[in-house]
Amino acid sequence: MRILFVEDDPEQLEPLSTALTHVGHLVDGVQEGETAQWLMQEKTYDLLILDWMLPKVNGLELCSQYRQQGKSTPILLLTAKDTTADKVMGLDAGADDYLIKPVDVMELLARVRALGRRSPQWLGDQLHLQDLVLDLPSMTLRRGDQAIVLSTREYQFLEFFLRHPGQVISREQLELNLWEWDNQPESNAVSTQIRRLRLRLEELGCADWLETIYGMGYRLQANS
């Protein structure tokens, strides 16, 4: 999933973002509400994780504004506010779930998995293309009786292609969707990742499923 994680404390933001990235999510981490407002307008996310207490625009305001725009992406609110009245206020502002600080990493990952299942893009724990199967929780790619565990980056690329099978995806689309908002990829970064992914697919006998469409981009489709 692509996640917007808004947390003003870098000692919380960095390790939790790393934990989310380690299990395959792509995380845009920001420390204040105004940047989050802009990103929420400019990009499409599968999940928002919002700290309540933020400078300038707090998480509760972000949550409320987002819902007033009619957007339905799940929202997890993080806060040290732990009274029943606080929880009611957060949920009434539009949050789908509420997690009290200090945050336990395992609980956060479980809440993220649960909220991900509510996303309109949810297709189950496995993505299929003919007999090729990507198991999302384990980042394992299977075909027949063969299985390989992908790196986080290989997994993110393949997941994106499997969610758009048969579509020609441009280099610009890959850069926009598979890099963090403040991280500009090097000029050969997409080509390098495509080459690595083909090598992994080759191990399962389907390297030629990932085609280069010259002048347009790349396409993943099964060869019959």
Q: Encoding tokens for residue 170?
A: 């441009």
Task: Tell me the pLDDT tens digit for each residue of 153-211.
Answer: 999 999 999 999 899 999 999 999 999 988 888 889 999 999 999 999 999 999 899 99
- The H or E element containing residue 54 is none
Q: What is the mean pLDDT of residues 36-48?
A: 92
The average confidence (pLDDT) of the chain is 93
Per-residue pLDDT tens digits for 1-27: 899 999 999 999 999 999 999 999 999
H-run or E-run covering 162:
helix 152-162
- Give the global pTM: 0.88
Share of the chain above pLDDT 90, in %: 83
Q: What's the CA gap between 4 and 50, in Å, rounded?
A: 8
The average pLDDT across 21-47 equals: 93
* Phi, psi (rounded to 5 degrees) for 184: -85, 125
Q: Order of strands across the sheet with 26-30?
A: 26-30, 2-6, 47-51, 75-79, 97-100
Question: What is the pLDDT averaged over residues 122-136?
Answer: 90
Query: What are the b/e assignments for 193-219, b being 16+ CB within 10 Å?
Result: bbeebbebbeebebeebbeeeeeebbb
**87-97 confidence digits (pLDDT tens):** 999 999 999 99
pLDDT at position 125 over 90: no
**pLDDT for 52:** 92
Name the percent of the chain in helix, strand, coil, to the closest 5.
Answer: 40, 20, 40
Do 212 and 218 meet the contact criterion of CB atoms below 8 Å apart?
Answer: yes
Domains of the chain (ranges, CATH numbers): 2-117 (3.40.50.2300), 126-220 (1.10.10.10)
pLDDT of residue 224: 63
Distance, in Å, from the CA atom of 108 to the CA atom of 199, rounded to the nearest integer, reads 33
